[in-house]
Structure 1
Amino acid sequence: MVRGGLVAYEILGETGELIVLTPGGRFAMDIPGLRPLAEALVAGGYRVLLWDRPNCGSSDVQFYGRSESHMRAETLAGLLGALDLGPCVLAGGSGGARDSMVTAILYPELVTSLVLWNIVGGIYGTFNLGAYYVLPSLQTVRGRGVEGLVRMREWRERIAANPRNEQRLLALDADEFVRLSLRWLNAYVPKPGQTIPGVDDELFDRIRVSTLIIRGGENDLDHPKRTSLEVSCLIKGSVLIDPPWPEDAWERAMEDQARGRVDHYNMFDTWVLAAPAILGFLASALGSAPHS
């Protein structure tokens, strides 16, 4: 139990430094493409913790904090404490990259290295997050109360994965949920001095660990190349590399998803291609040679 909610997790591997691997969006740890990367890192001599963040997969739904990423950071810190794990490597893509950065800022004592890719930023990327993850539930509660949440597809899926979530949603206070949703929505409004949503640029000075950044694709509106370059400037001493997947991988995956083309790769299928770069970086950063 972490901050009043259950958190589902799995640890792969028996020995080695621990890597917490976090996907994006509100996707669960079983999202296609994540486990192959985890298994490649385990084959390289590490343990990997996969977890369902609050509001993802089979974990309990939770609603607190300055932003959803701040809540996830607090949850991860609590989970690592409950498991007596850490400090560890934090690795994540898209929303998982943001969650990892916020965790490193708030809990620097828990982090030995950072590995980041598909960092969300820019007007389109941040507005899209607020519109997709916050506005639908906010509008539903304003019109139908919290009872309306359990009829929404997103929260029906969370209930199907974890029946406890139905009562947790129905127990929410509507007025407090609206206030929290407005706060979370505000984090996604682009502001001067905030390269990533809800985080002041000056706070990046708190990140003092070795950091690998895989830059965004040339024309990726969700994870702009510019944002990854800016983050590399904010994290002193970070290493920036070109993506090991095609420059247009994200755009093609989004097209395949929109068209229902199941014979092509999913959004995170290319992530396993980053394993060699991650292993090489960590071998240097942590001072140990990767296993074969």
Structure 2
Amino acid sequence: MPSVTVNGGRVVYEILGTTGTLVVLTPGGRFGMDIPGLRPLADALVERGHTVLLWDRPNCGASDVQFYGVSESHMRAETLAGLLTELGLGPCALAGGSGGARDSLLTAIQYPELVTRLVLWNIVGGTYGLFNLGAHYILPSLQVVGGAGIPGLLKLREWRERVEQNPGNEQRLLALDRDEFVKLSLRWLNAYVQKPGQTVPGVDDDLFDRIRVPTLIIRGGAQDLDHPRRTSLEISCLIEGAELIDPPWPEDAWERAMADRATGRIDRFNLFDTWVLAAPAIAEFLARP
């Protein structure tokens, strides 16, 4: 895979298609661009005449691990802006789900000159969703470093996987300063603490007025605790002119996927398998004048 260096870290990417609107497509979590369910959506958009940029964000896939910024999503927004600049691409459309929605949203807020349209779905919010983010992505590393120092990070599956996909990440992890890592982890954790005036973790609501591009939001499922319907409704109100549509997948798609993962049935219903169903709505939105 091709790569470029942004802020001292290698970022791996892939470009599909050669025509139409350029769309940066970003998955959720700390998943890389090889996560099942993402490429079918990318291929569907290419089939509809668009070009798609897939990328492994820092701490995802085969890209280098990196640790800086107000939050992990702030870091990724800065990385995406650097990636587009290095490649001489943009302005372009940004589309992302779950954590990818947050990364895309922050990029549009911080680098509006790079964004022409915005598509968001599975937006994380609410007490349960934010507690879950901090507990899943920050606390395990913070706790293991507290007990075993920086080398303890290599005991955690997610960092071992980053080394497996990119052997250079082992030295990048071991070179971290313990005290600085703890300080950064606490800052990232604090971003996930629910606060008045922050519908999206670490982002003040009054910053949403910087988004002046057409925006499409696919609302959260009625009972989805990770991506509440309320959060997507609130964000549609914060972004002037945003269009909110019902999900094109089953109302309980996320809950079913989580249940299958809990019982080991990830072969039957992956977290992002239904995302391809959004291709017609996204393509229609991108085709508007």
TM-score bracket for the superposition, by shorter chain length? over 0.9
**1:25-63 deviation per Cα after TM superposition (whole angstroms, max 9, x unaligned):** 000101000000000100111100000000000000000
Residues in 1 aligned to 2:18 and 2:110: alpha-carbon distance in whole angstroms: 28
- Pick aligned residue for 1:267 from 271, 274, 278: 271
- For structure 2, which runs of at least 5 residues remain unmatched after alignment? none
**1:68-88 deviation per Cα after TM superposition (whole angstroms, max 9, x unaligned):** 000000000000011000000
1:262 positional shift: 4.0
Residues in 2 aligned to 1:12 and 1:262: alpha-carbon distance in whole angstroms: 27
Matched residue, 1:225: 229
Residues in 2 aligned to 1:53 and 1:42: alpha-carbon distance in whole angstroms: 21
- Pick aligned residue for 1:163 from 167, 171, 185: 167
Matched residue, 1:251: 255
Residues in 2 aligned to 1:103 and 1:243: alpha-carbon distance in whole angstroms: 23
Correspondence 1:45 to 2:66: no
Correspondence 1:122 to 2:129: no
Matched residue, 1:82: 86
Residues in 2 aligned to 1:238 and 1:262: alpha-carbon distance in whole angstroms: 34
Letter in 1 for 2:104: S
Residues in 1 aligned to 2:216 and 2:29: alpha-carbon distance in whole angstroms: 21
User: 1:69-218 to 2 correspondence within 5 Å?
Assistant: 69-218=73-222
Residues in 1 aligned to 2:53 and 2:164: alpha-carbon distance in whole angstroms: 24
Letter in 2 for 1:238: A
**1:168-207 deviation per Cα after TM superposition (whole angstroms, max 9, x unaligned):** 0000000000000000000000000000111000000000
Residues in 1 aligned to 2:266 and 2:154: alpha-carbon distance in whole angstroms: 29
Letter in 2 for 1:230: E
Letter in 2 for 1:44: R
Residues in 2 aligned to 1:20 and 1:282: alpha-carbon distance in whole angstroms: 12
Residues in 2 aligned to 1:154 and 1:37: alpha-carbon distance in whole angstroms: 25
Q: Secondary structure at the match of 1:104?
A: helix
- Pick aligned residue for 2:24 from 17, 20, 24: 20
Letter in 2 for 1:216: G
Letter in 1 for 2:261: Q
TM normalised by structure 2 equals: 0.98
Q: Secondary structure at the match of 2:23?
A: strand
- Pick aligned residue for 1:30 from 24, 29, 34: 34
Residues in 2 aligned to 1:249 and 1:184: alpha-carbon distance in whole angstroms: 29
**1:253-277 deviation per Cα after TM superposition (whole angstroms, max 9, x unaligned):** 0001111114422000000000001
Matched residue, 1:290: none
Residues in 2 aligned to 1:104 and 1:261: alpha-carbon distance in whole angstroms: 36
Matched residue, 1:281: 285
TM normalised by structure 1 equals: 0.97
Correspondence 1:63 to 2:67: yes
Q: Which moved more, 1:72-81 or 1:136-145?
A: 136-145
| Structure 2 contact 21–286 (Cα < 8 Å) conserved | no
Letter in 1 for 2:217: I
| Structure 2 contact 118–216 (Cα < 8 Å) conserved | yes
Ranges of 4+ aligned residues in structure 1 off by more than 4 Å: none
Aligned CA-pair RMSD = 0.6
